[in-house]
Amino acid sequence: MIVMKFGGTSVESSDAIARLVRTVNSQLARRPVVVVSALGKTTNRLLEFAEHARRGELYLGSKCLNELQDYHFDVAGQVANREVLHQLEASLQRSFRDLRVILSEVVNEGREVTPALLDEIASFGERMSSEIVAAALEIGGVPAVHVDARQLILTDDRHTHASPLYWESYAKLRHAISYLSDGGVVVLGGFIGSTKDGLTTTLGRGGSDLTASIVGAGISADEIQIWTDVDGMLTCDPRVFRGGHRLRSLSYQEAAALASAGAKVLHPDTVTPAVRQRIPLVIRNSRRPAVEGTRIIPAVPLCSNPVKAIACKPDLTVLEIRPRDESDPAQIAAALGEMCGRYGMPAEFLCHNERTIFLAFKSSTRYQNLPIEVAGCVEVRLHSESSILTLVGEGIDGTPQIAARSLAALKQIPATILSSSGSKLAVSLMVPATELRRSVELLHHEFFQRIDPMVFAECPDVDVEGLQPLPTLAESGDSAVRTTRRFRPLRVVCQN
């Protein structure tokens, strides 16, 4: 069996769903299980709806629901025929009725928008998309069985970023899918799960990739395919710099390092369930199924390029923490990581070297609320409006040359190396956020001027709809002049 996961853009319209049906049909002999994201940007819209409800904005909340309802009915109407449409519309109708009840309870009866309610609201996206896709497969001549993912994916109760209970989920998946797949292709929504008490949870933004991987491990799949809007893992995010190349293959470790450093094409935890059974993960472009994509596998061929790809996190505030006494940076970093988790403010980046700890949050995070308490006095410098770039490749192998080459390539940009002394396959740098694109372009030029054809493939100009236009070098340089980095002291509570 294989798992085929289709992301938001791969189910965003009736045309996209028709392509999905063709793609699934072409691999029927491999007995696929299909995992889908919400249609297009539905999750964003549902979370906007929740925010309107929280602010008491009845009109805006209703407007949001009406638009989402029109969108879903439109797509359903185009993919389903008359027999199926009636049932599908009744089910969609129920979902929107439930969402309107939630809106009224929040606005009129003071129901609190808790993380649990946010999960409940967000879950409707994948619940509805999976029903639409199952109907589309049936109509396309592919027998399909829809299942509510919340019955199969069990998680802890950390709402909005729940962790899967892997073994319990595997047991349920193994049993249910072997039984259901007799009836056709099993279709389920990604991203959503439930606690043992039956409360709806979500796995964090982008979590459908993780669902696919859990399903793959649960059924011991031969392959887990992630169908998305790019040709595979590229040497850099095409939204940041368009001249990247496709990687033919990557190791599990490289893929995991890239995903956690910001390569959004994979959810950071996707690799974990696949590793134990050495299941290949393959990233493919749903608009261009002829392209082979990127295979993520246990061992990859030797590569003459030490760096395989550059990942980035754009809008961050980076705390540079220096212990003044003999305190061990490793211990302090571990304590900080634990504390961020406890306060529900996961760090975007955390590493330490012999003297310094770097801890980064999204600029929007209210990190000031964190009581940074560490044993021993520390000095903290705050780097607001920063970005972190991470170069990844097994060829980096802990050598200092890559850091030196990077700094030389970025000589006109105030860049700081942040890497952990322990990391062998990654080097991270902090640059001003306004210099992100220019830095990626310069580093790309430095490390990918020549590429190993065994590992990289030329990538035609990326035709991702909605790509933001890139500023020219001159534009990004100009904005850098206007914005300088600010250094502000942060209040630090010391224990002694």
- Least distance in angstroms from the C-beta of 190 to Mg ion: 9
Q: Which of 2, 3, 4, 8 binds ligand ADP (CB under 6 A)?
A: 8
> Helices 14-25 and 58-79, interaxial angle, to 10°?
40
Q: What is the DSSP string of 212-255?
A: HHHHHHHTT-SEEEEEESSSSSBSS-TTT-TT--EESEEEHHHH
CA within 13 Å, CB half, 73: 13
**Residue whose tokens read 């054809």:** 453
- Least distance in angstroms from the C-beta of 203 to ligand ASP: 8
Q: CB-wise, 130 or 208, nearer to ligand ASP?
A: 208
- Least distance in angstroms from the C-beta of 239 to ligand ADP: 4
The answer to whether the beta carbons of residues 122 and 202 sit under 8 Å apart is yes
Q: Which of 44, 42, 37 is nearest to 190 (CA)?
A: 37
Q: Is 265 in the site for ligand ADP (CB under 6 A)?
A: yes
151-190 binders of ligand ASP (CB under 6 A): 190
Q: Which of 69, 87, 218, 223 is nearest to 152 (CA)?
A: 218
Alpha-carbon span 208 to 191, nearest angstrom: 4
The answer to whether the beta carbons of residues 432 and 414 sit under 8 Å apart is yes
38 binds, options Mg ion, ligand ASP, ligand ADP, none, Cβ within 5 to 8 A by partner type: ligand ASP
280-319 binders of ligand ADP (CB under 6 A): 309
Task: Tell me which stretch binds Mg ion (CB under 5 A): 171-179, 202-210, 365-373, 390-398.
Answer: 202-210
CB neighbour class for 476 (10 Å; exposed up to 12, middle 13-18, buried from 19): middle
Q: Residues near 181 by Cβ (< 8 Å), separated by ≥ 6?
A: 1, 31, 33, 145
Task: Tell me which stretch binds Mg ion (CB under 5 A): 3-11, 217-225, 377-385, 393-401.
Answer: 3-11
Beta bridge partners of 226: 5, 283
Total residues contacting Mg ion (rule CB under 5 A)?
Answer: 2
Task: Tell me which stretch binds ligand ADP (CB under 6 A): 87-95, 136-144, 193-201, 258-266.
Answer: 258-266
- Least distance in angstroms from the C-beta of 182 to ligand ASP: 28
Q: Is 233 in the site for ligand ADP (CB under 6 A)?
A: yes
237-296 binders of ligand ASP (CB under 6 A): none
Q: Is 360 in the site for ligand ADP (CB under 6 A)?
A: no
Beta bridge partners of 379: 322
The answer to whether the beta carbons of residues 373 and 441 sit under 8 Å apart is no
Total residues contacting ligand ASP (rule CB under 6 A)?
Answer: 12
Structure tokens given for 53:
């409800």
Q: Which of 2, 7, 261, 312 binds ligand ASP (CB under 6 A)?
A: 7
Q: Which of 125, 164, 216, 238 binds ligand ADP (CB under 6 A)?
A: 238
Q: Is the dihedral of CA 16, 19, 25, 30 positive or negative?
A: negative
Strands 281-285 and 294-297: antiparallel
Residue whose C-beta lies closest to ligand ADP = 7
Q: CB-wise, 283 or 319, nearer to ligand ASP?
A: 283
Q: What is the DSSP string of 153-214?
A: -BB-S-TTSPPB-HHHHHHHHHHHHHHHGGGSEEEEESSEEE-TT--EEE--TTTHHHHHHH
Q: Which of 164, 206, 273, 323 binds Mg ion (CB under 5 A)?
A: 206
237 binds, options ligand ASP, Mg ion, ligand ADP, none, Cβ within 5 to 8 A by partner type: ligand ADP
205 binds, options Mg ion, ligand ADP, ligand ASP, none, Cβ within 5 to 8 A by partner type: ligand ASP
Alpha-carbon span 407 to 210, nearest angstrom: 35
- Least distance in angstroms from the C-beta of 209 to Mg ion: 6
Alpha-carbon span 447 to 457, nearest angstrom: 15
- Least distance in angstroms from the C-beta of 311 to ligand ADP: 6
Structure tokens given for 233:
């893992």
**Residue whose tokens read 């929040």:** 106
Q: Is 37 in the site for ligand ASP (CB under 6 A)?
A: yes
99-128 binders of ligand ASP (CB under 6 A): 125
Interface ranges with ligand ADP (CB under 6 A): 7-10, 37, 206, 228-230, 233-234, 236-239, 263-265, 309, 464
Interface ranges with ligand ASP (CB under 6 A): 7-8, 37-38, 43, 125, 190-191, 205-208
